[in-house]
């Protein structure tokens, strides 16, 4: 349930438990699958269609261990008519046995650089005669706002495919052709909430706009060598035309606060789903029942996902869920002050337990002073959806003065000929764009994406209409169409690493909770402590490497609680990492709990051991051990050998 309508209607039920045997959820999965079956079951290969396999759930072992649930989904898939082709499960090599059903095919997902033999080692042991398949071979990765543009080396990708072809292993390339999450459809990851950009170029062999790349030609050259005798690859189709559009300016503006939709009333604050809204922007408005002293904290539980707070129309601050910003210190405010909280929903979390990702303000707003807190009540609520029908008829006024408040912008531009182009949004703040009624996607000045792909099929000769919602405000209200995208311009000034300048962890005198050595090789390793330790701050100190180098790397990490099971990672933060590689990619320490095996923390190669990593678990836990997954690439670069663990209720000294 990545984003949009499905999330809206499922999350309106406050106690829904997604991806479980929750009767309400399963009933709706059944309804959905029945409709899927009506349309697609007739297209199975034995009936003349092109469906050769059908997947049951997706990477569920990274979500939970619940074979009865997976079996129930399998039964619904069969009941919907998919009985003539093999059914299969896909997971990672490290966890596929968690929910493996005996009557399904098992496939493995992994990405560029993976050690192919190692990825299939366990599967071959368990099913020596089974056909082997990588159901998702990742050619790249998706981009997140405020993070570097993601790329993967072309040679490494092609080598991985050669390794599979030479071993008679089937694969599906994810992605062959990059795409675009038009409109509001970009998703997000959590923990460490991180919303995805509109571009889904994915560093794929064929780009977002359908262009051939270095990866494409390397892959094509490889595949040529595996063709049956006498066969040849077809010619590459001609590229679609690309145009430039001269700069055009916006003069018609409709401020958001002057174009309020119908008001709704609620005593208690509620997420936007309760107002029948699934995406877009929502305004919560109340008046302060009494005067507020300077220094009082406004605490929001929680902002999902980006908020602007106003007092009597004056902007006080902005809060960003990506940075864990849920509080602000208020100035002195009079009784009766109008408090406005404008919240934009960014991408819905599409992985792990956080898919229960309600938008707006999820629980409450409080005024906190010392040990006293008072919840604010009696809210007037305004919903701003992202439908073109909602935004096209606002009260647009001609003005040359750019408003400092959120606003809609409208203009037209003329074209003599049409073609694909890239709308340059680099002078704008944060918002969305519609052209001729089509929602193009989100923009955000922080990058790395600065342009929006504009397919030529949605443009027309003559006059074209363009609307922009900018929640922050542009530096310059103009747009031009470029011939090439800008996907790698990062303007975020936030620190790239989890270490303040001059900070160095001091472990002298600290009590060691556990020490030991990891075994070399891929896959999860679990460590149990002799004695449980209570603490909120968990430090792993890597003392030595398996190989003769300086690098330490971790793909995924779990801390085990009092019951011996992994504790929730939803509110984890990295407090400190002695070294993080940000030159060659996003190898930051928060990658150890992003639920993705192909992303990892890695230290800089010229920084010597020991290496330290401190996790803020967000609350005191009874720690009984941990689980560690090294990165999965060939030769396991960064594999740690000897280590020590420290656990403390209070933070370490630096």
Catalytically active residues, by annotation: 59, 136
Tell which residue, 184, 97, 100, 168, has the closest CA to residue 134. Answer: 168
Q: Contact 272/282 with Cβ under 8 angstroms?
A: yes
Pairing of β 87-91 and β 54-55? parallel
- In sequence order, the β-bridge partners of residue 603 are none
How many other C-beta atoms are found inside a 10 Å radius of the C-beta of residue 217?
14
Cα within 13 Å of Cα(351), Cβ side: 18
- 392, 395, 401, 403: CA torsion to nearest 10: -80
Distances (CA, A) of 250 to 8, 49, 76, 394, 397: 33, 49, 52, 15, 11
Tokens representing 30?
């059944």
- Taking the C-alpha atoms of residue 623 and residue 379, their distance in angstroms, rounded to an integer, is 42
Cα within 13 Å of Cα(389), Cβ side: 0
Q: Could you tell me which residues come within 8 angstroms of residue 527 by beta carbon, excluding any fewer than 6 positions away?
A: 514, 516, 625, 626, 627, 628
Pairing of β 133-138 and β 105-111? parallel
Q: Contact 142/200 with Cβ under 8 angstroms?
A: yes
**In which residue are the tokens 């099929």 written?**
457
Cα within 13 Å of Cα(214), Cβ side: 8
Q: What angle do CA 530, 534, 536 make, to 5 degrees?
A: 130
Q: Identify the DSSP state of 610.
A: P
Tell which residue, 490, 501, 493, 566, has the closest CA to residue 528. Answer: 566
Q: Where are the alpha helices (DSSP H) in 383-454?
A: 388-391
Q: Contact 8/278 with Cβ under 8 angstroms?
A: yes
Tell which residue, 355, 343, 325, 331, has the closest CA to residue 383. Answer: 343
Tell which residue, 191, 583, 564, 178, has the closest CA to residue 357. Answer: 191
Distance of CA 117 to the CA centre of its chain: 29
Q: Contact 86/133 with Cβ under 8 angstroms?
A: no
Tell which residue, 619, 624, 610, 654, has the closest CA to residue 514. Answer: 624
φ, ψ dihedrals at 420, nearest 5°: -65, 150
Distance of CA 179 to the CA centre of its chain: 16
- In sequence order, the β-bridge partners of residue 476 are none
Tell which residue, 479, 430, 438, has the closest CA to residue 457. Answer: 438
Instruction: Give a three-class secondary structure readout of 169-207.
Output: CEEEEECCECEECCCCCCEEECCCCEEECCEECCCCCEC
């Amino acid at each position: 349930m990545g984003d949009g309508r499905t999330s809206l209607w499922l999350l309106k039920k406050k106690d829904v438990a997604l991806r479980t045997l929750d009767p309400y959820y399963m009933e709706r999965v059944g309804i959905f699958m029945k409709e899927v079956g009506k349309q697609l079951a007739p297209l199975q290969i034995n009936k003349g269609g092109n469906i050769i396999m059908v997947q049951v759930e997706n990477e569920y072992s990274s979500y939970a261990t619940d074979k009865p649930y997976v079996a129930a989904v399998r039964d619904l898939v069969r009941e919907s008519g998919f009985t003539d082709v093999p059914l299969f499960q896909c997971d990672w090599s490290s966890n596929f046995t968690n929910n493996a059903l005996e009557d399904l095919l098992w496939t493995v997902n992994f990405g560029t650089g993976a050690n192919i033999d190692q990825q299939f080692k366990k599967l071959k042991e368990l099913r020596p005669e089974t056909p082997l398949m990588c159901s998702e071979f990742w050619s790249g990765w998706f981009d997140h706002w405020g993070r570097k543009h993601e790329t993967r080396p072309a040679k490494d990708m092609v080598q991985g495919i050669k390794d599979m072809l030479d071993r008679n292993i089937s694969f599906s390339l994810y992605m062959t052709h990059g795409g675009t999450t038009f409109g509001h459809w970009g998703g997000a990851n959590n923990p460490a909430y991180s919303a995805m950009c509109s571009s889904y170029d994915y560093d794929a062999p064929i780009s977002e706009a359908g262009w051939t790349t270095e990866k494409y030609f390397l892959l094509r050259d490889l595949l040529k060598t595996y063709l049956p005798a006498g066969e040849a690859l077809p010619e590459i189709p001609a590229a679609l035309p690309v145009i430039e559009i001269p700069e055009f300016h916006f003069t018609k503006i409709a401020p958001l606060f002057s174009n309020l939709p119908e008001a709704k009333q609620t005593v208690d604050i509620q997420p936007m789903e309760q107002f029948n809204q699934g995406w877009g922007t929502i305004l919560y408005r109340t008046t302060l029942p009494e005067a507020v002293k300077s220094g009082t904290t406004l605490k929001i539980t929680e902002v999902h996902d980006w908020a602007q707070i106003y007092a009597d129309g004056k902007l006080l601050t902005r809060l960003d869920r990506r940075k864990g910003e849920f509080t602000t210190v208020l100035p002195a405010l009079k009784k009766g002050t109008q408090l406005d909280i404008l919240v934009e929903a960014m991408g819905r979390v599409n992985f792990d337990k956080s898919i229960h990702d309600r938008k707006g303000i999820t629980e409450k707003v409080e005024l906190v002073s010392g040990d006293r807190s008072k919840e604010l009540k009696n809210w007037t609520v305004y919903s701003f959806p992202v439908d073109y029908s909602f935004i096209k008829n606002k009260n647009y006024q001609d003005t040359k003065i750019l408003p400092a408040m959120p606003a809609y912008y409208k203009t037209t531009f003329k074209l003599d000929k049409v073609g694909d182009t890239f709308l340059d949004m680099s002078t704008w703040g944060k918002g969305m764009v519609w052209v001729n009624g089509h929602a193009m996607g989100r923009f955000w000045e922080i990058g790395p994406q600065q342009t929006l792909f504009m397919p030529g099929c949605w443009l027309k000769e003559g006059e074209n209409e363009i609307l922009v919602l900018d929640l922050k405000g542009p530096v310059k209200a103009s747009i031009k169409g470029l011939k090439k995208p800008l996907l790698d311009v990062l303007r975020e000034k936030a620190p790239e690493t989890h270490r303040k300048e001059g900070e160095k962890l001091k472990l002298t005198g600290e009590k060691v909770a556990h020490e030991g050595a990891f075994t070399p090789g891929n896959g999860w390793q679990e460590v149990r402590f002799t004695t449980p330790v209570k603490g909120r701050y968990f430090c792993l100190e890597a003392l030595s490497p398996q190989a003769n180098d300086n690098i330490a790397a971790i793909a995924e990490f779990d801390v085990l609680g009092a019951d011996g099971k992994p504790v929730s990672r939803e509110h984890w933060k990295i407090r400190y990492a002695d070294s993080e590689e940000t030159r060659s990619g996003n190898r930051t320490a928060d990658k150890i709990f992003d639920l993705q095996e192909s992303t990892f923390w890695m230290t800089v190669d010229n920084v010597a051991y020991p290496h330290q990593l401190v996790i803020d678990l967000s609350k005191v836990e009874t720690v009984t051990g941990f689980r560690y997954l090294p990165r999965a690439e060939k030769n396991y670069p960064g594999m740690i050998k000897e280590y020590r663990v420290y656990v403390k209720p209070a933070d370490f000294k630096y």
